[in-house]
Amino acid sequence: MKDVILDVSDLAFSFKIYGGEVQAVRGVDFKIEKGETLGIVGESGSGKSVTAKTIVGLNAIGTSGYLKSGSILFDGKDLTKLSKKEMSQVRAKDIRMIFQDPMTSLNPTMKVGRQIQEGLIKAGYPKDKAKTASIEMLRKVRLPNPEKRYNQYPHEFSGGMRQRAMIALAMAVNPKILIADEPTTALDVTTQAQILDLMKDIQKEFDATIIMITHDLGVVAGMAKNIAVMYAGKIVEYGYVDDIFEKPAHPYTWGLLKSVPDLEKSHKEPLSSIMGSPPDLFSPPKGCGFADRCEYAMKICHMEYPETTLLKNGHKVSCFLQNPNAMSVVNPITGLEVKHG
């Protein structure tokens, strides 16, 4: 592996609730190289956003959440060991996070340009150059007439423009990592495509490392180098984007891929969906979290959690179908029989 910028190991995060705990993230491991985009994909409640917020230390703020185990190595430091003040500095400069709702990041009572300027100054940028740099950043995110936009409030922007402003706010300080949590989910399809294009360009220009969190595999298809598929608080499959799309190995990933609209298919063919719902993480299943929804589930799937099998190219999957004693199954995406790993 080249320069690893973030190394997450055995991360587990829970929320205390009346009578017990919700085990939102249950032992997650991944590494990201500098300049890479990692897509973390899964449905609501899979633990992907909790993982991201744990990395930037936002889960522990004002919640009943607590870190159960794990380390997050960034730049030679374990982020789980930093004080609140040190983590606030990491969020101001090194690891920036953007959200589905730009108003989570933008202050509605402050002019947009001023917010970018303040972020720059907080990150140590010279005061006398911060205004020019803020306008330049608004130009880089392709907001028309950036000098005028600098003096406007967030409510004067459209949804797509607010998303651009939020990206400008996050990228102005040239962070080492940008975490984007469902940044295009609330946008119409055209604006979504424009924002994804912008993010690709921004990544090239800043040589940024990006973690893109989404429920939609289509969003990360043209952007990510690697994809981690999360389900019930665990990464169930991980690999290069091409391997995940062309040779997916986990039945949950098969289901996700089958539910992506295909423009080449007849409009009369119904979209398939994954029946059922994810398990309650208040009392997570002992075995595979997907077992109740999986058409290939075997007895063992309900009793034990499958080990991770390493396939080719660093492609990993946690599924009993890889076991030599498993029944023979045809992968619905490749049409080929699943080879036991």
- Contact positions toward ligand SF4, by CB under 6 A? 250-251, 288, 290-291, 294, 296-298, 301, 306, 319-321
For residue 29, give the nearest of 72, 67, 62 by alpha carbon.
72
Q: How far is the CB of 293 from ligand SF4 (least distance, A)?
A: 8
324, 340 Cβ separation under 8 angstroms: yes
**Nearer to ligand SF4 among residue 119 and residue 306 (C-beta):** 306
**Nearer to ligand SF4 among residue 271 and residue 303 (C-beta):** 303
SS3 305: coil
Q: How far is the CB of 289 from ligand SF4 (least distance, A)?
A: 8
Q: How far is the CB of 333 from ligand SF4 (least distance, A)?
A: 14
**Nearer to ligand SF4 among residue 4 and residue 330 (C-beta):** 330
Q: How far is the CB of 251 from ligand SF4 (least distance, A)?
A: 4
SS3 92: helix
For residue 146, give the nearest of 137, 159, 155 by alpha carbon.
137
Strand arrangement of the beta sheet that strand 177-181 belongs to: 95-98, 177-181, 209-214, 37-41, 226-231, 234-240, 316-318, 308-310
**Nearer to ligand SF4 among residue 157 and residue 320 (C-beta):** 320
**Nearer to ligand SF4 among residue 161 and residue 294 (C-beta):** 294
Cα separation, 131 vs 128, whole angstroms = 7
Q: How far is the CB of 331 from ligand SF4 (least distance, A)?
A: 12
- Token readout for 338 is 């699943």
